């Protein structure tokens, strides 16, 4: 039935959003609670207890004049018995609507009207609304309190009495003031990129959308933040030319308890703090090489940034497997070393870095199998990652900015196509109204597909919400798609990738089964504030971990979100540097800098 009458009193009605996924007695509309870019895909999800008529329609209502401005039929029904048995889900796709304004989505079921929360549609909406706050978030995450600065200028290297100056950088999370290049090195296959990724992300946004940043009045701010990160990485670079991986707080309120360490499970610390390519070294080289081209100085000069990147790269060419915890390179070394070599090649035009970049791109090509996913090791382990799943595609796309040889280009583009097609296929081969990016992984020696990472994995304990993974895959779909599927003949694939990317970002911004906007102080519902040592804690623009598989399920099946769990609620609620870094990359990729 069409939504024909809207009264002011009805417009004040809000859907009751609650954190429990059970017990809904009325239809629920899940929608991005912040904004949609005018030209982007726009999809909401409707949940009901009873199946709807195929003739049922939804409406887009302009909240400024109460007029219906767009009407369409809902999608076919979706069932997600793994999450919510007996419930029906429908997509409301209004991608064709491109008029700027503030809107709510409305449906009528059995003569009763229901409305979503309000959201914005405008040109470059996500960039306009969120980038200033993301920069604010990183600025507030600086480890720059007097206590931190004093302690970090004379940090003890674990296992010795030697001290080093590693002040600066960013606190890793809203509940953790430690500083990490990567914090899961011992697990080998799930090492996330942390501080160096943030810096490269800031640099990439600065170079990719300068007009937008100038329009927002934040160009100087984002450049200063990137230089702050580069200076920290230079302090982390040892005289022996490796990067020191971690400044660990031991979650101690005493700043003098901090040490430079390597890290094992359960906060066990070691002297293995030398970064391999996959342990933050590759991305630190990439960020330093790229920022050196700015010819701007921080506490170090642009020439020192480049020299540091060159020295560190040369060192890892010889010593990388010595620092890899299992003594073997894997896919994470490949894509991180590809980024490092590519940025050095771009800035120097040296054949040394060209050849290394081509070697690493070829390694990724060899890791791609017929199924469409990458093999992480030298045997049969699928590559899955809780935060950087899109990185191989992003690294290859960056490499193609420099590579002009058609033979090498075609091979890289073919790998990107296979990876993107796999991402769409594995995501859409089950009923999946939210379009949540799925993945293939090994669980109990068997390859299977799932929504969330397996909780039983190489780390022995680490699993959390995957909002960074969603941002990385959205980024990969957007930038990889532009390279691999340009031209009118590929419009269907372009539209599929755009919808995939949009749904990942919308999930982060509230279009998820718990109606939580995980970007703090945006949208209708946020996670609770989290405090940390030295006055740090949750910040506007920071993004929390997010939703996981059911806590009790080792394979990550089911669905869970908790705001309290006897101290373990961090798995869902804690802000973490990589989430905002990948979100920034995704919105950078979708921003039209000429508008």
Q: What is the pLDDT of residues 244-298, one digit of tens each?
A: 999 999 999 999 999 999 999 999 999 999 999 999 999 999 999 999 999 999 9
User: What is the C-alpha separation between 319 and 155, in angstroms, rounded?
Assistant: 25
pLDDT higher than threshold 70 for residue 512: yes
Let me know if residue 359 belongs to a domain: yes
pTM of the model: 0.95
Given a cut of 90, whether residue 7 has pLDDT beyond it is no
Domain boundary among 91, 122, 153: 122
**Residue 595, pLDDT score:** 66
Q: Is residue 335 part of a domain?
A: yes
pLDDT at 3 over 90: no
The total domain count for the chain is: 2
Query: Domain boundary residue among 93, 122, 151?
Result: 122
**Residue 477, domain CATH:** 1.50.10.10
- Is the pLDDT at 594 greater than 90, yes or no? no
In terms of C-beta density within 10 A (0-12 exposed, 13-18 middle, 19 or more buried), how is residue 225 classed? buried
pLDDT the model gives residue 466: 98
Q: Tell me the HSE value of 245 on the side-chain side, using a 13 A CA sphere.
A: 28
Mean pLDDT, to the nearest integer, of 352-359?
98
Cα–Cα dist 151/136, whole Å: 24
Distance in angstroms (rounded) separating the CA atoms of residues 392 and 384: 11
DSSP-based three-state secondary structure for 352: helix
Two tokens at 376?
């992480």
pLDDT of 24 higher than 50: no
Q: What is the distance between the alpha carbons of residues 567 and 340, in angstroms, rounded to a whole number?
A: 38
The answer to whether 287 and 281 are in contact (CB under 8 A) is no
147 and 18 belong to one structural domain: no
Is 276 inside any structural domain? yes
Q: Is residue 2 part of a domain?
A: no
Sequence-distant (6+) residues with CB within 8 A of 295 are 302
Instruction: Give burial (CB, 10 Å; 0-12/13-18/19+) of 86.
Output: exposed
Give 564-573's long-range contacts (Cβ < 8 A, gap of 24+).
570/173, 570/175, 570/464, 570/530, 570/545, 571/463, 571/464, 571/465, 571/545, 572/464, 572/465, 572/527, 572/544, 572/545, 572/546, 572/547, 572/548, 573/527, 573/528, 573/530, 573/544, 573/545
Mention every residue, 6+ apart, whose C-beta is less than 8 A from residue 311: 237, 241
pLDDT reported for residue 25: 56
Residue 595 lies in a domain: no
CA distance 168 to 144: 6
What is the mean predicted confidence (pLDDT) over 125-147?
98
Q: CB-based contacts of 236: which residues, under 8 Å, 6+ apart?
A: 166, 169, 181, 243, 244, 284
The answer on 134 and 104 residing in a single domain is no
DSSP SS3 for 161 = coil
Joined together, the tokens standing for residue 499 give 């919808």
Kindly state whether residue 316 falls inside one of the protein's structural domains. Answer: yes
243 phi, psi to nearest 5 deg:
-90, 140
Residues 103, 232 share a domain: no
77-78 and 35-37 beta bridge pairing: unpaired
Residues 466 and 387 sit within 8 Å (Cβ to Cβ): yes
User: Does residue 266 sit in the same domain as residue 338?
Assistant: yes
Q: Which residues contact 205 (CB under 8 A, 6 or more apart)?
A: 131, 213, 222, 584, 585, 588
Whether 302 and 191 map to the same domain: the answer is yes
Query: What pLDDT is stored for residue 26 in this prediction?
Result: 87
Q: Domain boundary residue among 94, 122, 150?
A: 122
Asked if pLDDT for residue 16 goes beyond 90, the answer is: no
- Name residues whose C-beta falls within 8 Å of residue 243's C-beta, 6 or more positions apart in sequence: 181, 233, 236, 237, 274, 275, 280, 281, 284, 312
Percentage of the residues of the chain whose pLDDT score is greater than 70: 96
Tell me the two tokens of residue 159.
């296992």
Q: Where are the beta strands (DSSP E) in 38-96?
A: 43-48, 57-62, 67-73, 77-78, 88-93
SS3 per-residue string spanning 402-451: CCCCHHHHHHHHHHHHHHHHHHHHHHHCCCCCCCCCCEEEEECCEEEEEC
pLDDT in tens, 533-569: 999 999 999 999 999 999 999 999 999 999 999 999 9
Cα separation, 242 vs 236, in Å, equals: 8
Residue at 339 is within a domain:
yes
Give the pLDDT score at 14.
Answer: 38
Same domain? For 114 and 163 the reply is no
State how beta strands 119-122 and 35-37 pair.
parallel
Q: What is the pLDDT of residue 148?
A: 98
Q: Is the pLDDT of residue 23 over 80?
A: no
Please indicate, yes or no, whether residues 135 and 34 belong to a single structural domain of this protein. Answer: no
pLDDT of 12 > 80? The answer is: no
413: left (phi over 0), alpha (psi -120 to 50) or beta: alpha
Considering the domain architecture, whether residues 75 and 137 belong to the same structural domain is answered as: no
Do residues 573 and 528 touch, judged by C-beta distance below 8 A?
Answer: yes
Q: Residue 93 maps to which CATH number?
A: 2.60.40.10
Q: Find the domain containing 55 and state its range.
A: 8-122
Is the predicted pLDDT of residue 5 greater than 80, yes or no? no
pLDDT at 110: 87
In a domain, 27, yes or no: yes
pLDDT, position 213: 98
Q: Is residue 115 located within the same domain as residue 146?
A: no
Looking at the fold, whether 176 and 265 belong to one and the same domain comes out as yes
Question: 303 vs 6, which has greater pLDDT?
Answer: 303
Average pLDDT of every residue of the chain? 95
Tens digits of residue pLDDT in 169-197: 999 999 999 999 999 999 999 999 999 99
Same domain, 92 and 193: no
pLDDT of residue 9: 33
Residues 6+ apart with CB under 8 A from 228: 142, 168, 169, 298
Q: Say if residue 315 is in the same domain as residue 432.
A: yes
As beta bridge partners, residue 122 has 37
Residue-wise pLDDT tens digits, 451-468: 999 999 999 999 999 999
């Amino acid at each position: 039935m069409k939504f024909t009458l809207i009264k002011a009193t009805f417009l004040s009605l809000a859907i009751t959003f609650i954190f429990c996924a059970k017990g809904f007695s009325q239809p629920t509309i899940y929608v991005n609670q912040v904004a949609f870019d005018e030209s982007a895909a726009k999809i909401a999800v409707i949940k009901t207890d009873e199946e709807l008529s195929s003739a049922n329609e939804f409406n887009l209502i302009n909240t400024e004049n109460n007029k219906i401005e767009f009407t369409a039929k809902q999608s076919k029904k979706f069932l997600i018995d793994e999450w919510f048995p007996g419930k029906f889900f429908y997509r409301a796709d209004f991608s064709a609507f491109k008029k700027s304004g503030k809107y709510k989505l409305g449906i009528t079921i059995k003569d009763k009207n229901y409305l979503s929360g309000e959201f914005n549609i405008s040109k470059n909406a996500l960039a306009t609304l969120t980038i200033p706050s993301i920069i604010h978030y990183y600025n507030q995450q600086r480890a720059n309190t007097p206590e931190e600065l004093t302690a970090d200028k004379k940090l003890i290297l674990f296992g010795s009495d030697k001290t080093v100056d590693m002040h600066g950088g960013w606190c890793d999370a809203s509940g953790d003031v430690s500083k990490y290049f990567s914090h899961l090195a011992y697990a080998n296959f799930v090492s996330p990129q942390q501080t160096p990724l943030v810096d490269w992300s800031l640099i990439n946004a600065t170079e990719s959308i300068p007009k937008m940043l100038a329009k927002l009045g934040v160009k100087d701010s984002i450049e200063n933040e990137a230089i702050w990160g580069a200076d920290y990485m230079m302090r982390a670079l040892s005289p022996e030319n490796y990067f020191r991986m971690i400044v660990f707080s031991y979650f101690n309120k005493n700043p003098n308890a901090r040490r430079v360490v390597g890290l094992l499970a359960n906060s066990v610390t070691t002297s293995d703090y030398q970064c391999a390519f996959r342990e933050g070294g590759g991305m630190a080289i990439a960020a330093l090489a790229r920022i050196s081209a700015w010819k701007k100085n921080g506490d170090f000069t642009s020439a020192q940034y480049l020299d540091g990147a060159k020295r560190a790269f040369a060192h890892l060419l010889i010593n990388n497997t010595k620092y890899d915890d299992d003594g073997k390179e894997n896919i994470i070394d490949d894509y991180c070393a590809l980024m490092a070599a590519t940025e050095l090649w771009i800035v120097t035009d040296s054949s040394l870095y060209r050849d290394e970049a081509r070697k690493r791109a070829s390694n990724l090509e060899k890791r791609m199998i017929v199924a469409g996913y990458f093999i992480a090791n030298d045997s049969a382990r699928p590559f899955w990652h809780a935060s950087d799943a899109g990185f191989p595609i992003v690294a290859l796309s960056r490499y193609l900015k420099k590579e002009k040889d058609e033979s090498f280009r075609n091979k890289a583009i073919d790998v990107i196509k296979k990876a993107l097609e796999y991402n769409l296929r594995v995501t859409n081969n089950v009923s999946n109204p939210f379009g949540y990016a799925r993945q293939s992984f090994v669980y109990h020696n068997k390859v299977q597909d799932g929504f969330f990472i397996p909780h039983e994995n190489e780390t022995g304990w680490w699993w959390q919400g995957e909002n960074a993974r969603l941002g990385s895959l959205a980024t990969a779909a957007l930038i990889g798609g532009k390279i691999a599927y340009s031209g009118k003949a590929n419009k269907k694939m372009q539209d599929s990738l755009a919808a995939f990317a949009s749904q990942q970002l919308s999930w982060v911004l509230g279009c998820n089964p718990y109606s939580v906007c995980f970007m703090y102080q945006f949208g209708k519902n946020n996670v609770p504030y989290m405090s940390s040592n030295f006055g740090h804690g949750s910040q506007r623009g920071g993004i929390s971990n997010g939703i996981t598989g059911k806590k009790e399920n080792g394979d990550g099946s089911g669905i869970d979100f908790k705001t309290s769990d006897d101290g373990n609620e961090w798995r869902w609620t804690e802000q973490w540097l990589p989430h905002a870094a990948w979100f920034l990359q995704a919105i950078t990729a979708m921003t039209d800098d000429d508008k």
